[in-house]
Amino acid sequence: MKTLKGPGLFLAQFVGDSAPFDTLDGICAWAADLGYKAIQIPTTVPALMDLHLAAQSQTYADELKGKIATHGLEISELSTHIQGQLVAVHPAYDLAFDGFAPPELRGKPTDRTAWAVDQLKLAAKASSNLGLNASATFSGALAWPYIYPWPQRPAGLVEAAFDELAARWLPILNAYEDAGVDLCYETHAGEDLHDGVSYEMFLQRTGNHARANLLYDPSHFVLQQLDYLQFIDFYHDRIRMFHVKDAEFNPTGRQGVYGGYQSWADRAGRFRSLGDGQVDFKSIFAKLAQYDYAGWAVLEWECVIKHPEDGAREGAAFIRDHIIRVTERAFDDFANTGVDAQMNRKMLGLGA
C-alpha cells in the first residue's frame, strides 16, 4: 500500500486582486504558512503562470518550479477546468460560457472550441515540462440540456452526443499520451461526464483510452445522491486525482436534488468547508489507501457560509489528520511461524 500526498490546495477560489492572493509568491507564502505542501494551479490565471511558456520552454518550467519550491511547496497538478468546459458547449449555453473564453473569441463558438483544444494540448506539454503525471479538467457537455427524459428523448440522441464528445477529446487524449500525463475528468454537474455510467459511455467510445482518467470529488456525489464510497471500489484503477471537498444534502418536503432554482445557500444540496458537511472522509481516505492511491489530496474550497481563509486554514489540518501512513507489515507478523512449502503440504494432508 502507498501513503497519499498532501495537503495540497487548489488555488482557483483564492486568487484575487489584493495581497497575498494577487501574486504567485504571495499566495505560495500564504499557503505554505497554513501547512500546505503543494498547490494545484488553474492555467487561466496569468498572475500564477504563463501556460504557453510552460509548454514551450523547459527553462521557464524549471524556473516556475524553483520559485514555488523556495516556499517549500511543489505543484500537484495543473487545472484546465475552464478550457475543458469549452471543448463541448451546447448552443443553449453559448452566451453563459462565452465569458470563459478570451474576449476576441466571444460569439464565435467554433473558434472558441479550437482555442480550448489548443489550451488542453498546451497543458499536456506544460505538465510534462513541469514533471507532473496528472492534470485536471472538465469534459464539457452536449447532452446536458436533456439530462431528464422529458419530453421523451429521441432514440439515439444521447449516443450521438457521446460519439461527438469522444471524437473531440480523442486527439487531446492522444496528446496527453504523448506527454505521459493522465487527463483526469472531474465528474461534475453540468458536464456530460457527471457520474460513473456517463464516464463508462465516454470511455467505451475512446477505446478505453489509458489517459482518460478521473478526478475524484465526493461532494458532487452527495448532491446527486450517488454512493461515493462504492464509486472508489468501481473506479479506483482510474482515479488519479482527488479533490477533498465537503457537502451536505438536506431534502425537505419542499425541495430535493433539483433545488427548486434556489441560490446555493438555500439549496437542499450545498457545498461546505471540510468537516462541516456530511462526507465520510475517514472511510474515503481508508479506501484510497487500500487501493494504493499515491497522488495528492487537494483541498477545493467551496462553501456558501464560511470565509475562504478560515476554510483554507482548517482544511490543511483536516487533510493532514486524515492522511493514513500505511503500514509496512502485517499486524500479525509477530505470530509468523516461518512455515515453509513442505510444512504447508503436511498441514493440508498432502504428505511430505
pLDDT, tens digit (0-9, with 9 covering 90-100), for 52-88: 999 999 999 999 999 999 999 999 999 999 999 999 9
Mean pLDDT of 109-136: 98
Does residue 270 register a pLDDT over 90? yes
Does residue 352 register a pLDDT over 80? no
Pairwise CA distance, residues 43 & 336, whole Å? 52
The pLDDT assigned to 206 comes to: 98
Share of the chain above pLDDT 90, in %: 92
3-state secondary structure the chain: CCCCEEEEEECCCCCCCCCCCCCHHHHHHHHHHHCCCEEEEECCCCCCCCHHHHHHCHHHHHHHHHHHHCCCCEEEEEEEHHHHHCCCECHHHHHHHHCCCCHHHCCCHHHHHHHHHHHHHHHHHHHHHCCCCEEEECCCECCHHHCCCCCCCCCCHHHHHHHHHHHHHHHHHHHHHHHCCEEEEECCCCCCCCCHHHHHHHHHHCCCCCCEEEEECHHHHHHCCCCHHHHHHHHCCCEEEEEECEEEECCCCCCCCCHHHCCHHHCCEEEECCCCCCCCHHHHHHHHHHCCCCCEEEECCCCCCCCHHHHHHHHHHHHHHHCCCCCCCCCCHHHCCCCCHHHHHHHCCCCC
Residues 123, 298, 182, CA angle at the centre, nearest 5°? 35
Is 96:144 a contact under the CB 8 Å cutoff? no
pLDDT, tens digit (0-9, with 9 covering 90-100), for 235-256: 999 999 999 999 999 999 999 9
Pairwise CA distance, residues 235 & 30, whole Å? 35
The pLDDT assigned to 111 comes to: 98
Could you tell me the sign of the dihedral formed by the alpha carbons of 112, 64, 308, 77, in that order? Answer: positive
Does residue 334 register a pLDDT over 80? no
The pLDDT assigned to 327 comes to: 85
pLDDT, tens digit (0-9, with 9 covering 90-100), for 186-240: 999 999 999 999 999 999 999 999 999 999 999 999 999 999 999 999 999 999 9
In the structure grid, which three cell numbers stand for residue 240, read together? 488519479
86: nearest Cα among 49, 114, 125, 107: 114
The pLDDT assigned to 338 comes to: 79
* 183 DSSP β-pair partners: 135, 212
Residue 34: HSE in the Cβ half-sphere, 13 Å Cα cutoff: 27
pTM of the shown model? 0.95
Q: Hey, what CATH topology would domain 5-347 get? A: TIM Barrel (3.20.20)
The more confidently predicted of residues 4 and 340 is 4
pLDDT grade, residue 342 (50/70/90)? confident
